[in-house]
Amino acid sequence: MESIGVLMLCPMSAYLEQELQSRFNLFKLWTVPQKPQFLKEHASSIRAVVGNAAAGADAELISALPKLEIVSSYSVGVDKIDLDKCREKGIRVTYTPDVLTEDVADLAIGLILAVLRRLCASDRYVRSGAWKKGDFRLTTKFTGKTVGIIGLGRIGMAVAKRAEAFNCPISYYSRRAKPDIQYTYYPSVVELASNCDILVVACPLNEETWHIINRGVIDALGPKGVLINIGRGPHVDEPELVSALVEGRLGGAGLDVYEKEPEIPEELFGLENVVLLPHVGSGTVETRTAMADLVIGNLEAHFLNKPLLTPLV
């Protein structure tokens, strides 16, 4: 398989790079000085693309790679891939569901606790020496608060299961109510937001869910409400979110994703009721290894004419 050209779109994992390099003819797009030149020279040998949450095979790239057979994403979110175009051209698409579900759900709860209990602010308080001059203030209890989840897929359900262990009543919004689920369903995000203390975004990003957290939802969540985003940056109307936080119209936010990563609105840096993470939802040694193994496993299966491990298209 060493002659098979695989194009990796951006740095994502040294382990994955090594493994791909040892099996295939690996091209690293970010090391290429002139993209058009590179594509002219090598396009005809590239049969696979490896992308992630930050970069995917869009229509332009797919058109430039006539021999493309498979897109293997190092992520569960596939909003950066032109899925319709892949279907049209018979290009397979694989992703990394399940292996990262627990870590993302763990992080959602970690963010809730960090915001409500002011963990990062407290840690700063100690490190700055401020504790010597006085105690930090009281914070807000998590146990028993109502958690509203947008999207009750694998990750949403895992968040619910964890929140239940803290005696949190669970409610949710999704396109349709789920028949065997005991949680309270709301047919709109605004109604969900009006009736929960903590709102968690856990749905896929697509045309319908773009800016699903808008001014109306933020107002409904209110000055005591907390927003947790473990989905995609574009789920949230970011300028609206920032002004709501700065003006105190929203109680707090725990964010792992942003509209224009790695850029983050600087107004958020001064806020104590906000926790900011650099897109680390699946960022554990164990899970990233499992994700890389899935990418490799899917590519090998494809080129050996075996069934794909985790196909989406």
Partner 1 sequence: MSARENVNIPSGNEEEADHRPLVLVHRLPRFVLPFDMRTTFRLLDPISSAADEPPQDFLSRHAPSIRALITVGPAPVNADLLDLLPSVRLVVGSSAGVDHIDLNECRRRGIAVTNAGSAFSEDVADYAVALLLDVFRRISAADRFVRSGSWPRKPEYPLGFKLGGKRVGIVGLGSIGSEVAKRLVAFGCRIAYNSRNKKPSAPYTYHANVCDLAVNSDVIVVCCALTKETHHIINKDVMTGLGKGGVIINVGRGALIDEKELVQYLTRGEIGGAGLDLFEKEPDVPKELFTLDNVVLSPHRAGLTTESFEAVREVITANLNAFFSNKPLLSPVQYE
For the beta carbon of residue 32, count every other beta carbon within 10 angstroms. 15
- C-beta of 283: minimal distance to partner 1 in Å? 5
Helix (H) or strand (E) holding 245: helix 238-246
Whole-angstrom distance, CA of residue 146 vs CA of residue 143: 9
Q: Is 117 a catalytic residue?
A: no
Whole-angstrom distance, CA of residue 141 vs CA of residue 193: 19
Helix (H) or strand (E) holding 293: helix 285-303
Q: Is 235 a catalytic residue?
A: no
**Active-site residue (options: 232, 235, 288, 302):** 232
Site membership for partner 1, residue 262 (CB under 8 A): yes
- C-beta of 308: minimal distance to partner 1 in Å? 25
- C-beta of 57: minimal distance to partner 1 in Å? 20
Whole-angstrom distance, CA of residue 186 vs CA of residue 191: 6
Binding residues among 281-300 for partner 1 as defined by CB under 8 A? 283-288
Instruction: Kindly tell me which of 189 and 291 has the beta carbon lying closer to partner 1.
Output: 291
Site membership for partner 1, residue 124 (CB under 8 A): yes
Q: What angle do CA 182, 187, 190 make, to 5 degrees?
A: 115
Say if residues 168 and 116 touch (Cβ distance below 8 Å).
no
Helix (H) or strand (E) holding 17: helix 14-23
Q: Is 232 a catalytic residue?
A: yes
- C-beta of 165: minimal distance to partner 1 in Å? 4
Residues binding partner 1 (CB under 8 A): 11, 102-103, 106-107, 109-111, 113-114, 117-120, 122-127, 131-132, 135-136, 138-144, 161-162, 164-167, 261-264, 269, 275-278, 280, 283-288
Q: Give the residue numbers annotated as catalytic, written as ranges.
A: 232, 261, 279
